[in-house]
Amino acid sequence: MTLSSSNSKRSSAKHKTRYERKCRRMDTFFATSKLDYSESIKDVLSNFSVPQCEAEPFAKRPRREPTMKPKAKLRLTETGVSASLDVAQGERVPLFLSDLQDLLLYAQLGSHSPCVPRWCQLDKYNQLVHTTVLVVENVSLYHFSSYESFFPYLSAKFCNKLEFIPSAAYKMDMVQDLATLPLTVAQTVKLTSVYGSLDQTSSENSNGFDKIKGDKFPRTDLLLSGWQMVEENYPLPIKGLMNGKYVGYVLTKDSYKDVTPFSPMFGIDCEMCLTTIDLELTRVSIVDESGSVIYEELVKPEAPIKNYLTEYSGITAKMMKHVTKRLKDVQEDLRQILPPDAILVGQSLGNDMHALKMMHPYVIDTSVIYNITGDRKRKAKLQVLAEQFLQKKIQTNTKGHCSVEDSLASLNLTKHKLQQNIFYGDAVMSKIAKQVRQYPHLESSKYVTSFLREVTRMEKTSLVVGLEDITARYCHYTFRDKIVTKKICCISEVGNQSVINRLCESGAHYSFNIGHIRFNETELDNDPSKLFKKVDDWIQQIDKSICTPALRVVIFGGQRDSGNGCFFVSLKKCP
């Protein structure tokens, strides 16, 4: 038998089977169509024979266990890790109290919060039942580091330990710093729409918009904040870094005056040459607001010059031949020349301050206040900014830059912006600028809103327990309009122990709690070890009274002259 004949027979058998199957289906269809619909399906099926087969027993699907409810999680970002006490003191970059505020707001409001913490990430915030904060004034990071063995519970249960710059360091009251928030754009627009202006909203701050002649808004609005100075790599007098990274750096003054809209501005620019060590200062120029040069000096670096970088610095070997002035001499000169409330202005001024090895609290950086790229990390050159906004060409000399010309250009750019509005020349803020044109008072807002009112606006409640004068300050910043809300309860107690006891008794009834205690210098000097052991016991007592899951925070407020503060953050999870 051939292969072709075998395949042919198989094909015929398949066709026959298909044909018989179709015939049976047709017979069934015609039989069904003749039946009366009143007959039951059983009667219909009984007319047809169905081949019987042994059915396997039905395997019951196993019951699916309910999945566990996702839990809240807290983890540090790169910024938070940099501020952690696990990082060496010389490499640590402290946070601010406003950073902690961002977390507390986000834990209560989530996506409705006006700000998101930059130093940590909180997942499943809506699972949290309580947020409890214990503030301990006049205890600093130094105290915790020196007496850490007396804080066994705090060290073991609070895994995130971070350093922050205390409010006293920038002349702020800690209660005010914690109990107030800057007005957001949306809040400012709303208030302006209702009351017509912010001046009419609060009579107490009606004189907040001091302006110097010719300025459309206070020049203090252009000052870099502490956070911006950290981001822009400005040298700061941070404890720990002064003996490491910033050895040899000095302050521009021993003491400073409060900066105001009337404080004088000085343009400053430095030129550097490459020595056998690194880039070192070789020229510094300072001009005042009238455009006069008040300081101009060549500086002899400590190490031999390897490359004059003439095409950039404008410095030549001939210019430096008879120069004898050293960096220390320049530092002393500037300490004598600059007033205690001077505002220094420059392009990427942080580099110049590092070249001078000096630190100054009041600075305006034209690379920050002007942005034409739409990206904060991409900065325009001073030459481009001067040509676009001042219609003036600078740095055209092929023999290098002139520090006097550059310092004057930076100062003129700042003065030009002060005659426009705070969003002028800033592509990043272009959308907000449209709102500013509709609400003129928005650009010069000096007003704040209550932190506790913000926390309780989403059906939340808050409790504040503290010593009498402390609670009075919380009330001042919360109930300025004299309208007391049931959502916020402020209780005064006599003595720290009474504050702790009341917080433990009443905290479970509120979603956000603050307990604020304070120690004086005498208490800290007499027997600190016994005192800190008591604080650790109080923390444990509060922790046991908290319902889970909860966010728990302990703040050591720091001291103005003897150390930064630190705060401890942890989630208390369900057992």
* Dist. CA 455–CA 450, nearest whole Å: 9
Q: Is 80 exceeded by the pLDDT of residue 323?
A: yes
pLDDT at 204 (0 to 100)? 39
pLDDT at 353 (0 to 100)? 94
* DSSP symbol at 426: B
* Dist. CA 266–CA 363, nearest whole Å: 10
pLDDT at 461 (0 to 100)? 92
* Dist. CA 503–CA 463, nearest whole Å: 8
pLDDT at 442 (0 to 100)? 43
Cα dihedral 347/348/349/350 (nearest 10): 180
Q: Rounded to whole angstroms, what are the CA distances from 170 to 147, 173, 182, 258, 448? A: 26, 9, 16, 10, 17
Q: Rounded to 5 degrees, what are φ and ψ at 131?
A: -130, 120
Answer whether 183's CB lies under 8 Å from 448's CB: yes
Which amino acid would we find at residue 491? I
CA angle 355, 237, 418 (to 5 degrees): 70
* Dist. CA 571–CA 132, nearest whole Å: 10
Q: Is 70 exceeded by the pLDDT of residue 297?
A: yes
Answer whether 185's CB lies under 8 Å from 435's CB: yes
Q: 572 is written with which tokens?
A: 């208390």
pLDDT at 66 (0 to 100)? 56
Alpha helix (H) residue ranges in 52-163:
78-83, 97-109, 141-146, 152-157
* Dist. CA 215–CA 426, nearest whole Å: 18
Greatest distance between any 2 Cα atoms in the chain: 123
Q: Is 80 exceeded by the pLDDT of residue 398?
A: no
Single pTM value for the model: 0.55
pLDDT at 441 (0 to 100)? 44
Per-residue pLDDT tens digits for 272-294: 999 998 899 999 999 999 999 99
Q: Is 70 exceeded by the pLDDT of residue 431?
A: no
| Structural fold of domain 73-182+448-572 | Alkaline Phosphatase, subunit A (3.40.720)
pLDDT at 50 (0 to 100)? 46
Answer whether 297's CB lies under 8 Å from 330's CB: yes
H/E element, 73: strand 73-76
- Kind of pairing, strands 120-123 and 73-76? antiparallel
Q: Rounded to 5 degrees, what are φ and ψ at 501?
A: -60, -45
* Dist. CA 402–CA 394, nearest whole Å: 9
Answer whether 504's CB lies under 8 Å from 545's CB: yes
Q: What is the 3-state secondary structure (H, E, C) of 148-170?
A: HHHCHHHHHHCCEEEEEECHHHH
* Dist. CA 218–CA 213, nearest whole Å: 10
Q: Rounded to whole angstroms, what are the CA distances from 188 to 195, 258, 435, 447? A: 10, 26, 10, 9
pLDDT bracket for residue 209 (50, 70, 90): very low
Answer whether 406's CB lies under 8 Å from 394's CB: yes
The mean-pLDDT minimum among 82-86, 87-91, 423-427 falls in 423-427
**What SS3 state is found at 339?**
coil
pLDDT bracket for residue 27 (50, 70, 90): confident
* Dist. CA 558–CA 143, nearest whole Å: 9
pLDDT at 390 (0 to 100)? 92
The ranges assigned to domains in the chain are: 73-182+448-572, 208-437
**Sign of the torsion angle spanned by Cα atoms 228, 230, 233, 236:** positive
Alpha helix (H) residue ranges in 419-520:
430-438, 451-455, 468-478, 496-506
* Dist. CA 518–CA 558, nearest whole Å: 11
Count CA within 13 A, CB hemisphere, residue 80: 20
Its CATH architecture, for the domain 208-437, is 2-Layer Sandwich (3.30)
**Sign of the torsion angle spanned by Cα atoms 8, 14, 18, 21:** positive
Mean pLDDT confidence for 139-164: 94
Q: Is 90 exceeded by the pLDDT of residue 553?
A: yes
The mean-pLDDT minimum among 180-189, 283-292, 493-502 falls in 180-189
363 CB burial (10 A radius; 0-12, 13-18, 19+): buried
Cβ partners under 8 Å of residue 324, min gap 6? 300
* Dist. CA 535–CA 91, nearest whole Å: 29
* Dist. CA 477–CA 293, nearest whole Å: 46
pLDDT at 44 (0 to 100)? 47
pLDDT at 561 (0 to 100)? 65
Cβ partners under 8 Å of residue 458, min gap 6? 108, 109, 112
* Dist. CA 441–CA 448, nearest whole Å: 14
Per-residue pLDDT tens digits for 331-372: 999 999 999 999 999 999 999 999 999 999 999 999 999 988
CA angle 351, 170, 349 (to 5 degrees): 15
Q: 245 is written with which tokens?
A: 């990274």
